[in-house]
Amino acid sequence: MPPRYAYWTILIDQKATAFRAREREELLPTFHQLKRKNTDVVMKWFARGRLWESPLEAETAQRMPKAPLEKRGRDWRPGGEHRDPRDRFKKRSQPASERPEPWRPREKPDVRSSSRPWSAKPGSGPPRSSRPPRFAKPGKPGNAGQPPGGRRDNAPRNRPSGKPKG
C-alpha cells in the first residue's frame, strides 16, 4: 500500500486535476469520459513531489544512486571575501612578551603597626537599645512598633456588622 502522498492523477493539457486515486482502475471510467471531450488527457503517478509514468519508474529512480554534488571547500562563499565574518571576534594567541601582566592588588604600606593596638571607634550617641521603637509617635503610648497609617493585621475590630441604618 503506497503512502497517501503517492497516487494516480489525471492531467488535462499538462495541468493537474482533482481526480486522484490509489488504484489506476478507480480512475479509468473518469479518464475515458474526459478523453471524449479533451484531446490531451494523461494519467500519471505522483510520488515524492514528482509525476512519473508508473509507480515502478518512481521506485527505480529512488533506488538509483544520486549524482554527486559539487565539492566545495570550507572557505567557499559566494562573492566578497572568503573569510568567516566571526573571525574578528575570536581571541588570538599572543606571545608571552606581548601579554599584559595579570592584575594583582597593590602593595599598601602597613598603616597599623604593632605599637598601636586595636581600639574601638568613638561613640556616636547612646546605645541603640535605649532609643524608642522606629514607628513610635512621641506622646502616644501603645502604638510602638506599628507602621504609620494604623493597623496592618486583619484582626476583627469592635464595630457593629452590617449596613448603618438610616
In terms of Cα–Cα distance, which of 94, 74, 93 is closest to 84?
A: 74
The predicted-structure confidence for 90-99, as pLDDT tens digits, reads as follows 877 777 777 7
Between the alpha carbon of residue 158 and those of residues 41, 49, 149, 161, the distances in Å are 95, 82, 19, 9
User: Domain residue spans in the chain?
Assistant: 7-63
The predicted-structure confidence for 102-140, as pLDDT tens digits, reads as follows 888 877 766 555 566 666 676 666 566 666 666 655 666
Contacts of residue 55, defined as CB under 8 A and 6 or more positions apart, other chains included, come to: 2, 6, 45, 47
pLDDT for 87: 82
Highest mean pLDDT among 1-5, 13-17, 74-78, 93-97: 13-17
Question: What is the Cα–Cα distance from 128 to 124, expressed in whole angstroms?
Answer: 10
pLDDT for 66: 79
Q: Average of pLDDT values for 58-73? A: 82
Q: Cell numbers 493539457 label which residue?
A: 13
The predicted-structure confidence for 35-55, as pLDDT tens digits, reads as follows 999 999 999 999 989 999 999
